[in-house]
């Protein structure tokens, strides 16, 4: 809600166990979902799925994990969630590079 109030956009990792079926698949393979946050209005977001490349996972393994993150696993599916809904303005490949 704060993102929309400030007319900003958001891009963040989505926990692997948080999944909502796609309402529409977009041209770059990402998809739209509608989230229903408790106590807030529903919001449409775009989900981008990807795997971390093995050499990147090796480099990330040097960093300690935290309570909110696990070691990078090139076999695990990762998800980004963003309010940038247009794949022409923010292609999935470009968006995932921001957080990989």
Quick: pLDDT tens for 44-96: 899 988 887 888 778 877 777 666 666 667 677 878 888 888 888 877 666 55
**Residue 10, CB half-sphere, CA atoms under 13 Å: how many?**
17
Residue 94, pLDDT score: 65
Residue 1, pLDDT score: 56
Confidence of residue 9 (pLDDT cuts 50, 70, 90): confident
């Amino acid at each position: 809600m704060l993102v929309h109030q400030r007319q900003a956009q958001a891009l963040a990792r989505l926990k692997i166990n948080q999944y909502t079926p796609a309402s529409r698949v977009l041209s770059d393979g990402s998809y739209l979902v509608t989230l229903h946050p408790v106590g807030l209005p529903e919001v449409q977001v775009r989900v981008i799925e990807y795997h971390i490349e093995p050499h990147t996972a090796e480099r990330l393994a040097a960093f300690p994990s935290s309570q909110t993150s696990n070691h990078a696993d090139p076999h695990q599916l990762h998800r980004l969630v963003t309010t940038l809904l247009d794949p022409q303005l923010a292609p999935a490949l470009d968006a995932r590079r921001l957080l990989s």
